Amino acid sequence: MDLTLKVWRQAGPGTEGRIETYDVPGISEEMSFLEMLDVLNDRLIVEGREPIAFEHDCREGICGSCGMMINGQAHGPQKGTATCQLHMRKFSDGDTIVVEPWRATAFPIVKDLVVNRSTFDEIIAAGGYISVTTGAAQEANLTLVPKAVADTAMDAAQCIGCGACVAACPNSAAQLFTSAKLAHLNLLPQGQPERWDRTVRMVGVMEQYFGSCTNHGECHEACPKEISLDFIAYMNRDYRKAIVKNRSLIAQP
């Protein structure tokens, strides 16, 4: 099929960017969206022009690096799918597709479609870990985790940190990301010792860079892992308990 692509081109951070239009003929519907961009880039290189910079790594929907805004939707039109797993059969011959990088103050553009998501790393660094004592590993079966808890923690741990939640949010809020990262540790026994401090610290860093949640629910729709809005409520609950009940000081579960 033949497509027209309108892509955001920007030479570097802080420089002026603009939308450029490219004709992309002869695309197979079996290609992924990234393969379609590869085809275009091959041609641009042959023509001696600058290829479009975009981030990608695993191309199997697990690394979270391939995020881009496709026709106003984060990761494009297919629900629960990262850009690399999006196939061209979701588009039709003659379509015009607009591709833009994530846009948020917290995600400055590096080049073309590549943004700097290190503010996510800062949120993780603030508490997205557990502390364990070194030495011989303890018997694994000593720490029991109920099946339902393990499942919910796993649902949260599916977050690949792609940033689609921020990109899709009209407030550029990072609530879905932060709450998923919190929930997957806060639900498990290993995460309990630092639960309240972790919540306060990670929310604190999140609020330095990102907007505030108004419960639109766009983040969940955009999320390639379909992370539930419930985690945002759990985060709000844990933060409230941590501060109002002073849980980190009086040590009550």
Partner 1 sequence: MATTTRPAAAELATTKRKRPWFIELYGTALGKKYVMAITGIIGMLFIVGHMVGNLKLYLGGDHLDVYGEWLRTIGEPALPRTVFLWLLRGLLITAVVLHIHAAWSLTRLNHRADIKYTNRRDFIAANFASRTMRWTGILVGLFIVFHLADLTWGAANGDFIRGAVRHNMVHSFRRPPVAITYVVANVALGIHLWHGAWSLFQSMGWNNPRFNQWRSWFAWAFAGAIVLGNISFPILIVTHAVTY
Binding site for partner 1 (CB under 8 A): 6, 8, 19, 69, 71-73, 98, 100, 103-106, 168-173, 203-204, 207, 209-218, 220-222, 229-230, 232-240, 243-244, 246
Q: Give me the least distance between CB of 249 and ligand FES, in Å please.
A: 40
Our CB check for partner 1 shows the closer of 59 and 103 to be 103
Asked whether position 62 contacts ligand FES by CB under 6 A, the answer is yes
Element (H, E) at 183: helix 175-186
Interface with ligand FES, residue 119, by CB under 6 A: no
CA distance 116 to 107: 5
Token pair listed for 188: 């498990």
Phi and psi at 109, nearest 5°, equal: -75, 130
The Cα–Cα gap between 176 and 167 comes to 11
Q: Is 226 among the residues that bind ligand FES (CB under 6 A)?
A: no
Of 5, 84, 114, 185, the one binding ligand FES (CB under 6 A) is 84
CB of 7 to partner 1, least distance (A): 11
φ, ψ at 111 (rounded to 5°): -165, 140
Give dist(CA 9, CA 20) in Å, integer: 7
DSSP lists the bridge partners of residue 221 as none
Plot region of 222 (φ>0 → left; ψ -120 to 50 → alpha; else → beta): alpha
Binding part of the chain for ligand FES, among 55-63, 89-97, 177-185, 188-196 by CB under 6 A, reads 55-63
Q: Minimum CB separation from partner 1 for residue 72, in Å?
A: 3
Rounded to whole angstroms, the Cα distance separating 85 from 144 reads 36
84 binds, among ligand FES, partner 1, none (CB under 5 to 8 A by kind): ligand FES
Q: Which residues pair with 97 in a beta bridge?
A: 5
Q: If we measure between CA atoms, which residue out of 130, 221, 241 comes closest to residue 176?
A: 221
Which residues face 69 on adjacent strands?
Answer: 74, 100
From the list partner 1, ligand FES, none, pick the one residue 194 interacts with, judged by a Cβ distance below 5 to 8 Å according to partner type: none
Residue 207 beta carbon to partner 1: minimum distance, rounded to whole angstroms: 5
Q: Position of tokens 């981030």? A: 55
Residue placing its CB nearer to ligand FES in the complex, 162 or 188: 162
Rounded Cα distance, 69 and 153, in Å? 28
**Residue 247 binds ligand FES (CB under 6 A):** no
Q: Which is nearer to ligand FES, 62 or 98 (CB)?
A: 62
Residue 64 or 211 with smaller CB distance to partner 1: 211
Query: Nearer to ligand FES by C-beta: 70 or 213?
Result: 70
56 is a site residue for ligand FES (CB under 6 A):
yes
Q: Which residues bind ligand FES (CB under 6 A)?
A: 56-59, 61-66, 82-84, 160
